Amino acid sequence: MVAQPPLREAERANFEFFLGLPEVPREQVSIDAKGSQLLEPLFEFSGACAGCGETPYLKLLTQLFGDRALIANATGCSSIYGGNLPTTPYTKNRDGRGPAWANSLFEDNAEFGFGLRLAVDQHARQARDLLQRLAGELGDGRVSGLLEAEQHGEAAIAAQRARVAELRQRLAGLASPLARRLEALADYLVRKSVWIVGGDGWAYDIGYGGLDHVLAQGRDVNVLVLDTEVYSNTGGQQSKATPLGAVAKFATGGKAVPKKDLGLLAMTYGNVYVAQIAYGAKDAQTVHAFAEADAWPGPSLLLAYSHCIAHGYDLSRGVAQQKLAVETGYWPLYRHDPRRAGARESALRLDSGAPRGKLAEFARNETRFRMLEQQDPARFELLMGRAQRAIAERHALYRHMAEPFDHGRGDPTPDPTPDDKA
C-alpha cells in the first residue's frame, strides 16, 4: 500500500495530455468498422452495469452523428444512465457541438421524437424561406449554395457548416429584422439526425402503438431499439421481445409464445429501413446499418441485440454469446433497404448465414433458459424444440423474401441458365 495522491496527480497530468491530443478530421475518415472508432465519442463514462450490451450502440451513434443528433430517449435503462444527473455521459466536442438529448415518458417517446422531427423541419423551412427573401442582399450564389448542398457524408456536412459560418458573417452586416431571425435559425441549414431510442419494453410493448404510428408517417426519423428481451430496468419482467422458453417475471415457467417479430412488421410498410444488428457478431454490418439508416430520408428502425445482466451470465463473455446467437439463428442479421427494391431485386438482404448448431447450446449459457431446464427438464426440451423449429421457419421466410423477384411474372426469379445468359 502506498499513498495515492502522488499517483493521482501524475495520472491527472497524463489524462489531460490525452484529452489535449487533436481529433482526427472527420471528413478524412472512412465510415466503416475501423474508421468509425477514430471518431470522437460524445457518450462516455455512463455508469451503466459493467458489460452492458446497450452502451456500445449509443457510443457508436454519437461517434457517427453526435455533433448534429437530436435524441428522444424512452424511460428505461438508457434514460437512467443517459441522464444520471448531476452528471451525464453525453458530452460535446471542441467546437461546442454535441447531441441534444431529452427523456420522455415510457408510453409516448416515439411521438416525442416525431415532434422533434417536425420542429427541426419547420425551423429548416423558415431558414430556407428567409434565405430566399434575403437573396438580393446575400447574393444568389451564396443562397443557392446553401439551399442546394448535398449533405451526406462528413465532407459534405463540413462544407455546409463552412457555408453557414460565412452566412453568419454576412448577416452580421445587415440591419434588417429578417437577418436577425435568420441568424437564430441558420444552424438548421445543416442536416440534423433525429434518433428515437429506447428498450424493448417501450418499443415492443408499452410504446408500440406510438412507434407504429410514427413509422407510418414516412418522415425522416431513426429508431434504435436496445433489445435486452426483458424489462431490465424494472426488475426483469417479460416483454413481447422475451423469447420462447426464457424465464422471466410473469413467465416463471418459461415463455410459451414466440418473440414478436418487430422488424418483419415494420418491413410491411415498404418504405421503412429495417436492420437487425449485433455488434459482437458482425461489427461492420452494425456500422453500415447505422450509416444507411441515417442516409435514408424516410423512417428507419434498428433492432440492436443487447446482452444484459438479466440474462444471467458473466457479461465479459457477451461478445462471444452474441456470435453464438447469430450462428444458431437465434438472432439473424439483415438489412431491409427500400432503396434496393426494384424490378428484380429484393429490399431485404440477409447478413448472416443459415443457422448452425443447436439453439440449446446458446440457451444453456444463460440462467434465463437454464433455470427452466433445472426446474422442469421436460418443459425445457419441449420449448427448445418449438424454438428450434421457429428458427428454421423464420430463416426460410427471410430467405424467400430476400430472393430476386420478377414483378412482371409475380414469382421468384431463378438464376439464369447458360442459355439465358447467352
What percent of the chain has a predicted confidence (pLDDT) above 90? 87
pLDDT in tens, 149-206: 999 999 999 999 999 999 999 999 999 999 999 999 999 999 999 999 999 999 999 9
pLDDT at 87 (0 to 100): 85
Domain 41-92+192-406 classified CATH 3.30.70.1560?
no
| Averaged confidence pLDDT in the chain | 93
Kindly indicate the confidence band of residue 343, based on its pLDDT and cuts at 50, 70 and 90. Answer: low
pLDDT at 415 (0 to 100): 46
Res 105 pLDDT > 90: no
Whether cis (ω within 30° of 0) applies to the bond prior to 86 is yes
pLDDT in tens, 63-89: 999 999 999 999 999 999 999 888 899
Residue found under cell 427500400? 338
- Provide the residue ranges of all domains of the chain, joining segments of one domain with +: 41-92+192-406, 113-189
pLDDT in tens, 377-417: 999 999 999 999 999 999 999 999 999 866 554 444 444 43
Q: Tell whether the torsion through CA atoms of 296, 333, 37 and 120 is positive or negative.
A: positive
* Kind of pairing between the strands at 69-73 and 193-199: parallel
pTM score: 0.93
- Measured CA to CA, the distance from residue 264 to residue 334 in angstroms comes to 11
- Under the phi-then-psi rule, with left for phi > 0, alpha for psi from -120 to 50, and beta for the rest, what region is 24? beta
Instruction: Write out the three cell numbers for 239.
Output: 416483454
Res 106 pLDDT > 90: no
pLDDT in tens, 306-315: 999 999 999 9
